[in-house]
Amino acid sequence: MTPAAHEGPPLGIDAPARLGRTALPDGRRLAWAEWGPPEGRPVLLCPGGATGRSLGFGTHLLADLGVRLLSVDRPGLGASDPAPGRTLADWADDVAALLEARGIRRPHLVGYSQGVPFALACAAHGLATAVSAVSGSAEPAAPELADALAPEVRAMVAAVAHDPEGAEATVTASASAASMWDLVTAGCGPADRAVYRHPAFAHAFRRAIEEGFTQGPGGFARDTVLTMGRWPFTLTDITVPVDLWYGEHDTSMFHSHHLSEPLVRALPLAHRHLVRDAGGLLLWTHAEDVLRTLLGHDEG
């Protein structure tokens, strides 16, 4: 039987209320989108792989929760200027400059899928009050995770370790908005497939991927090399609460809950949430749980 279209609470994918680009000290600009009250508690989203700033989550909840949601295009994606050779540490520096320019201090952070290591990099640099890591893997290149990786992911890790520039060139030559949509939808289970088949969600997600590839595949290729290589920060140095969210029925080879154990062990204040009868799209199907739990970690 073909799974029915997603039925349930709103998915929270309204168009952004505000768009902008902020200049960094080196002259580059980071593009951002905002939802919710401008005076609300800031929550910064590090989006998933190749997706642009327009895809928010829980947007129907923000007014009642008093949340100002801010999503940022990483360099080379969407409308953010490229930064060839950038690192995860560079991303934390960019975010620090963005926050200072916009008068934001220690926001709550959300990382989704490929955005999780970018959120953790910011937390390791002291930029976060708390973090929600939604459907994210532990460091794929860490030796203790090698046996748990799918063969395709293990091959990516090996390629990056052997020749990072070559691996980046390979992804650049093969990645596109169409192939990215196929990648995220082909291997998903029934729970996620029903959401992807929701017409409004499919439209918003496809639009976000197209935005991500506005400048070509280079930004996504660089992100892939950074996330599949060794991460330049130590998880034990992240001393703020980190909630790790996984769906029990997430079948992705990149971020199922089976890849979370090293994060649980290494992060001093980690708490893993395994949601029954859910897939990997928890950021949209369980946005209220994610946001309320995150906001519960307010600074004293």
Domains of the chain: 18-295 (3.40.50.1820)
Q: d(Cα 82, Cα 173) in Å, to the nearest integer?
A: 17
How far apart CA 80 and CA 215 sit, in angstroms, is 9
Q: C-alpha dihedral over 154, 155, 160, 164, to 10 degrees?
A: -170
Least confident interval from 245-249, 251-255, 290-294:
251-255
> Burial letters for 275-296: b for 16+ Cβ neighbours within 10 Å, e otherwise?
beebbbbbbbbbbbbbbebbbe
- Cα separation, 282 vs 243, in Å, equals 13
Residue among 238, 13, 253 nearest 133 (CA): 238
HSE on the CB side for 79, CA within 13 Å? 13
- Predicted pLDDT at 3: 37
pLDDT at residue 299 in the model: 62
Percent share of the chain, pLDDT over 90: 92
What's the CA gap between 189 and 250, in Å, rounded? 7
Q: pLDDT averaged over the chain?
A: 94
In the predicted model, what is the mean pLDDT of residues 176-205? 94
Least confident stretch, 195-199, 206-210, 256-260: 256-260
Give the per-residue pLDDT at 6: 47
Are the C-beta atoms of 238 and 268 separated by less than 8 Å?
yes
What pLDDT sits at residue 5?
Answer: 43
Does 82 score more than 70 pLDDT?
yes
Percent of the chain beyond pLDDT 70? 96
Contact of 91 with 74, CB cutoff 8 Å: yes
Full-model pTM: 0.95
